[in-house]
Amino acid sequence: MACKEDVKPVVQPVEISPEEAAINKVKDSLYTAFIKAKENKKTREQIKADLKFKGYKTFDYVDEKSKDTILMQQYFVAFLKAGAIRGQNEEEAAALQQEHLDYLGKMYEMGHADISGPFGDDTALRGMTIYNVPNITTAERLANDDPMVKANRLIVEVHPWWAAKGFPLR
């Protein structure tokens, strides 16, 4: 048996352009985000159990066309209407508006409100907020804590509303 020295091929590093390196970095971060999202993705049944544990009302809806089972969740829509005190001067009204926007932003950041905004016409119905909370009592309390409502510039009317969990607006 002859002893031969194993000859390993020499691999030359491949040089890539800065653009290719940037693209590869983005691809790597997208792949990592995809894997993490896949690992953290809960099943419909897990989401339903979590919501039930937190006190939310849900039900399953079977779409006749696709035969998919869709998880429906109860939300609460707070309609904002013109209140009795609307005679604030321009500065007071602007300050209240900023407090109102800050409050709604806080509700969104805390996960209590999913969407809010004004209506596009000039009627007594001024806007709405969709609250993502377990019950109407909490939705009413949060809606009534709005600085515009406290100042009686707006009043609220809250109604339960059902929507498909996780479906985006189009």
Who's near 50: CB < 8 A, 6+ residues apart? 42
- How do residues 119-169 score in pLDDT, each as one tens digit? 999 999 999 999 999 999 999 999 999 999 999 999 999 999 999 998 888
pLDDT at 15 over 60: yes
Question: 74-164 maps to which CATH number?
Answer: 3.30.70.1060
Better pLDDT: 33 or 93:
93
Domain ranges of the chain: 18-42, 74-164
- How do residues 86-129 score in pLDDT, each as one tens digit? 989 999 999 999 999 999 999 999 999 999 999 999 999 999 99
Per this entry, what is the length of the chain? 170
Structure tokens at 104: 């709604």
